[in-house]
Chains A and B, each alone.
Chain A
Amino acid sequence: MIHFENVGLRYGMGPEILRDLTFDVPDRSFQFLTGASGAGKTTLLKLLFMSLRPTRGLITMFDRDIAMVPSGDLPMLRRRIGIVFQDFRLLDHLTTFENVALPLRVRGRPESSYRRDVVELLEWVGLGDRVNALPPVLSGGEKQRAAIARALIDRPELLLADEPTGNVDPPMAKRLLSLFLELNRLGTAVVIATHDLSLMDQLEARRMILTHGRLEIHG
């Protein structure tokens, strides 16, 4: 599904943040992306989300060389990817329901067609009673769950999550992890960037470890 070959990235004239990355994210796979703070996890996620282009190397996503994709086609590719930002990026003037439903709304779907799915998903992530709340009154953990629900709502082919359990207590982290697993079982490839060892220890999964811009893959 995704293939990186000798990918390198530097900002400006600075040193290379990522060096010689060569790896695949296969269909229906599940992996953790880990490494010390500042190792380049977020940058790698940005590359995966096509919000950065590499300084060198080749990236193929959904069988297309992204260097060749015209910018008009990017939205269509992004619709196949769900992303959970570390800073959530919820819209403060929209309710939890509206935030989570946003990806469906921008695809032109009428509200009646997704209302039940959105409410169900919100219940699943424990936000059943926060459907009408605006993000400023949500706790950090609640915002995180809303951001996750927004990334999942359209059953993406690839889910990217940046520290998705950073703001929740261990039981909720476990619950969210099982949500990701469930999604993975239904066919979504999942990449979770985290440095939470206890989270990674909860299951046998592929680990991509970034150290000083280089990638090691275990499993």
Chain B
Amino acid sequence: MRPTGPIVPVSGVSGNALVVVVAIMAFLACLTLGAVTMIRQSATSWQSEIAREVTIQIKPEEGLDMDKALARARSVVTTFAGVTGASVMGKGATARLLQPWLGSGIDIDELPVPRLVVVTIDERDPPDFQAMRAELNAQVPQARLDDHRAWVDRLTAMANTTVLIGLGVLGLVMTATVLTVIFATRSALSGNRHIVEVLHFVGAETRFVASQFQRHFFRIGLKGGLAGGVLAAGAFFAAGAWQNATMGAAGSAQTTALFGRIAIGPWGYLGIALVVAVVAAVTALTTRLTVMRTIRHIDRARADGNRAEPS
């Protein structure tokens, strides 16, 4: 005699279709989640890269000893707390910076070119820019401090908008996933109504029937969710590995410029795991509610002879 079979049949066309639907939706949701994670990371890193630096620009002026002024400005800013370093941008670097406008092969000493001191600061504990500006003005009147505030503000606004849009898309995809899973589960269950009826009529309690179906469909949801999640995680991992392997190649540089580093980090992978769990839970919960409603329906026929189908 074979070992006792499960009350809810293990396989079936509708069950397999449900696995595929759940897998596809979980895959899409995980992709969106990963993309949003990446955008958020890139946005944060742009911001911090820009916020980590301020520059001092010294304009050339008649009778100004540029090198001395640069050294002076540098020594002034390094006395401030929150400054982690300051360096004078050399002549070569300045020339390279101006190359797009002035062409190559120019002698920087012959032109009245402003020079820069790049100051790196501690983002978490920035120096008092107001005081720094005043001190610089007093000591080197030709110096102008640019704390990149305008750029940082604009970037922050842009990054926040991008992340917000990403979250909006993620919300829509998750909603679509949940709804699709609900409808697919219901349609897979509709083929099993006769089982619910028979169990009900041989005296099974609603809880028992619901738990039988719930266990079965949780497994289907988990299987589909895992397939989609693993596929998405694999896709991110493979893309990251490809980027690492081809680092420096022309195509890769463009991809990197466009997307940043393709890596979703531990939070991204945790998010994917969460999506899988949510998908499996939604499948199981929908099953439970649908089965309970089916039984209520059977009992309502009992409760109201007017609504029953004649037979």
Chain A contact residues, CB within 8 Å of chain B: 9-12, 14, 17, 42-43, 49-55, 71-72, 74-76, 78-79, 83, 85, 89-91, 93-95, 97-98, 101-103, 105-108, 111, 131-132, 150
Contact = CB atoms under 8 A, between A and B. Distances in A.
Interface stretch (B74-82, B128-136, B278-286, B303-311): B303-311
Interface of B: 1-2, 4-5, 7, 9, 194-195, 197-206, 208, 296, 298-299, 301-306, 308-311
Contacts of A53: 302-305
A131 B5 contact: no
- Taking each of A50, A75, A101, A102, which has the highest tally of chain B beta carbons within 10 Å of its own beta carbon? A75
B306 A55 contact: yes
Contacts of B302: 50-53, 74
Given A94-B7, A103-B202, 8 more contacts: A11-B306, A17-B310, A42-B311, A85-B201, A91-B7, A102-B7, A105-B4, A106-B205
Given A11-B310, A51-B298, A89-B194, A102 B303 contact: no
A14 B198 CA distance: 28
Nearest to A119: B1
Contacts, number: 89
| Among all A-B residue pairs, the 7 with the closest Cβ atoms | A79-B203, A106-B204, A93-B9, A103-B202, A11-B310, A78-B203, A75-B205
A106 B7 CA distance: 10
A72 B201 CA distance: 13
B244 to A, nearest CB: 50
B296 to A, nearest CB: 8
A71 B296 CA distance: 8
Given A11-B305, A54-B305, A71 B200 contact: no
Given A53-B302, A53-B304, A89-B194, A150 B201 contact: no
A35 to B, nearest CB: 16
A217 B224 CA distance: 60
Given A11-B305, A11-B310, A75 B204 contact: yes
